[in-house]
Chain A
Amino acid sequence: MKKLTLPASGDDIECLKAGDSLFISGELYSARDAAHRRMHYALQNGLDIPVALKGRAIYYMGPSPAPPGRVIGSCGPTTSKRMDKYTPLLIEHGTKVVIGKGERSQHVKEALKHSGSIYLVTFGGAGAYLSKCVKEAEVAAYADLGTEAIWRIRVENFPAVVAYDIYGGDLFEQETARYSRSTGKAED
């Protein structure tokens, strides 16, 4: 099991290969559909955005409310593919690590490779389990969006797997091919 400390350096990221299991510690920003749309609109129009993306990690997540005595509620990943149209511009502005669940489109894969950024997946539907790894959480921007606000969260030993590395490695292709016993067609 490798460790990754955030914010990550270029050297840290170069060491990672698709399929590596990681424990992440450090600070990340959450953002999902609504926050992405806002940041993307601002950047496209030459406006400032309320968080500095350079060298940072974005986690596609909108938590459930924290009950009294807890740092955060349930906080697993949402489907990454919905962020695909916004991701290349955010990477261009310095985002180094993106974390979510599921496959992404080819243009995101290429944008990641081009800029030396990586895509990690974590365990979808394990929001209660993952909440144990979150040590601090506060709204960083776009508070009016509620669960869809940008949250600054600090994690310790947060589990993730490298899905796309900077060399074009693709966890989904590698692993699906390994375990696919046929095309799934009846005649096979």
Chain B
Amino acid sequence: MAIREIEASLITRKIAEICTKANFELGQDALMALKQSCETEVSPLGRQALSILIENASIAREEKIPLCQDCGTAVIFVELGQDVHISGGEFNTAVLEGVRQGYCEGYLRKSMVKNPFGKRENTRDNTPPVVHCEIVPGSELKIMVLPKGGGAENMSRIAMLKPGDGIEEISELVVETVRQAGGAPCPPLVIGVGIGATFEKAAMMAKKVLGRKLDEPNPDTSLVEFEQHVLERVNRLGIGPLGTGGSTTALRVHAASYPCHIASLPVAVNLQCHSCRHAEVVI
């Protein structure tokens, strides 16, 4: 297999584009999920909130302003084909520069601060992003940006459950996380659940599944029943759209699992607000 050259400057350009696209354009899958829940929501205030969110999405798309003032931490998932060579610059710099250009040119909010427990000084260009890179077969470079707002991220959690725990304990953890979060993470939520692996990989899985389209079933069919079960329980909590009561507390539960140590059962719950933003590009 011949090595394919990809210019670093192209990576920068493409990342800048998907940063703005993700912040201006809510995906059709997320929009459809909001429209469907607007029809089934039992609370009048909840229906009002959902219809405002639907209108918000069309204003953002048409007028090219961010769906939400919190344009997030730029979380970037990279799948780098092993037959790709990046030329004309360093990969990490190209990614960082893409985020900087996207956030500055798109009038997106810059929310990153350095010295997080000290002066908390804004970096003024929303860098650095948080980048997760995976080497995969092939000669393509796939990049997904998932702007992650602080409100929902703050309500996320990770727990190290016991090996003897099962679907009920895992479900209870997710439901309790959502209950305690209430209206703060901007429901209706997409709930990412990472089950197994290790402390950090469970959290990573819980984040990455937030990029799965809402109309795509889980490719791991063994998790479909769990996702459905948790979704039903969460939607019985009564929290509703934006926490002001109702039957739509979450739109979807997305789970992923991975083998783990005989002593462990890590479970991470990553909450995503209704503004389920992500955009991807394949180079």
Query: When the two chains form their complex, are residues A124 and B175 in contact, meaning their CB atoms are under 8 A apart?
Result: no
Look across to chain B and name the residue whose beta carbon is closest to the beta carbon of A127: B69
A147 at the interface (CB under 8 A from B): yes
Chain B residues closer than 8 Å to A148, beta-carbon distance: 122
A179 to chain B, nearest CB (A): 4
A161 touches B244 (CB 8 A): yes
Q: B146-189 vs A: 1/0 string, CB under 8 Å?
A: 00011100100000000000001001100100010011101000
Known contacts A64-B107, A184-B233; decide if A125 and B244 are in contact (CB<8 Å): no
Determine, out of A6-14, A48-56, A74-82, A90-98, the stretch whose residues face the partner at the interface: A74-82
Q: Smallest distance from the beta carbon of A86 to chain B beta carbons, Å?
A: 16
Query: Interface size for chain B: under 10, 10 to 19, 20 to 34, or 35 or more residues?
Result: 35 or more
Q: Does A159 contact B (CB under 8 A)?
A: yes
Determine if A61 is an interface residue (Cβ-Cβ < 8 Å): yes
Docked-complex contact A188 and B243, CB < 8 angstroms? no
CA of A144 to CA of B120, assembled, Å: 12
A179-B247 contact in complex given A185-B233, A186-B168, C-beta closer than 8 Å: yes
Q: Which residue of A lies closest to B171 (CB)?
A: A186
- The number of chain A residues touching the other chain, given as a range, is 35 or more
In the complex, A78 Cα to B252 Cα: how many Å?
A: 23
* Chain B at the A interface: SS class: loop
Which B107-158 residues have C-beta < 8 A from chain A? 107-111, 120, 122, 124, 149-151, 154
| One of A39-47, A107-115, A135-143, A169-177 contacting the partner | A169-177
Give Cα A128–Cα B65 distance, bound, in whole angstroms: 6
B79 at the interface (CB under 8 A from A): no
Question: Do B65 and A74 have beta carbons less than 8 Å apart?
Answer: yes
| A102 B184 Cβ-Cβ under 8 A | yes
When chains A and B are docked, how far (Å) is the Cα of A76 from the Cα of B66?
A: 11
Q: Which residues of B contact A102 (CB under 8 A)?
A: 151, 182-184, 243
Q: Among residues 190 to 247 in chain B, which have CB atoms less than 8 Å away from a CB atom of chain A?
A: 229, 233-234, 236-240, 242-247
Asked whether, in the complex, the Cβ of A81 is within 8 Å of the Cβ of B53, the reply is: no
Say whether A125 contacts B274, CB under 8 Å. Answer: yes
Indicate which residue in A129, A147, A175, A185 contacts B43 across the interface (CB closer than 8 Å).
A175
Contact call B68/A127, Cβ cutoff below 8 A? yes
| In the assembled complex, B96 has its CB within 8 A of some CB on chain A | no
Query: How many inter-chain residue pairs (CB < 8 Å) link A and B?
Result: 182
State the Cβ distance, B153 to closest chain A Cβ, in Å: 11
Q: Smallest distance from the beta carbon of B225 to chain A beta carbons, Å?
A: 13
A23-73 with Cβ < 8 A to chain B: 34, 61-67, 70, 73
A120 CB to closest chain B CB (Å) equals: 11
Say if the beta carbon of A131 comes within 8 Å of chain B: yes
Given A64-B107, A65-B107, A102-B184, answer yes or no on A176-B238 (Cβ-Cβ < 8 Å).
yes
Query: A103 an interface residue at 8 Å Cβ cutoff?
Result: yes
Measured between beta carbons, the chain B residues less than 8 angstroms from A106 are none
A188 touches B236 (CB 8 A): yes
B42: chain A residues at CB < 8 Å are 179
Choose from B71, B120, B168 the contact partner of A34 (Cβ within 8 Å): B120
Q: With A61-B69, A81-B184, A146-B122 in contact, do A121 and B53 touch (Cβ < 8 Å)?
A: no
Interface assignment of B92: CB less than 8 Å from any CB of chain A: no
Can you offer 16 A-B residue contacts whose CB atoms are under 8 A? A78-B151, A101-B243, A102-B151, A102-B182, A123-B56, A124-B273, A125-B56, A127-B56, A129-B55, A147-B69, A175-B244, A176-B243, A177-B238, A179-B247, A181-B238, A184-B175
- Give B contacts to A, CB under 8 Å: 42-43, 45-46, 48-49, 52-53, 55-57, 59-60, 63-71, 107-111, 120, 122, 124, 149-151, 154, 168, 171-172, 175, 179, 182-184, 186, 229, 233-234, 236-240, 242-247, 273-275
Across the A-B interface, the 5 shortest Cβ-Cβ residue pairs:
A175-B245, A180-B238, A102-B184, A179-B238, A64-B109
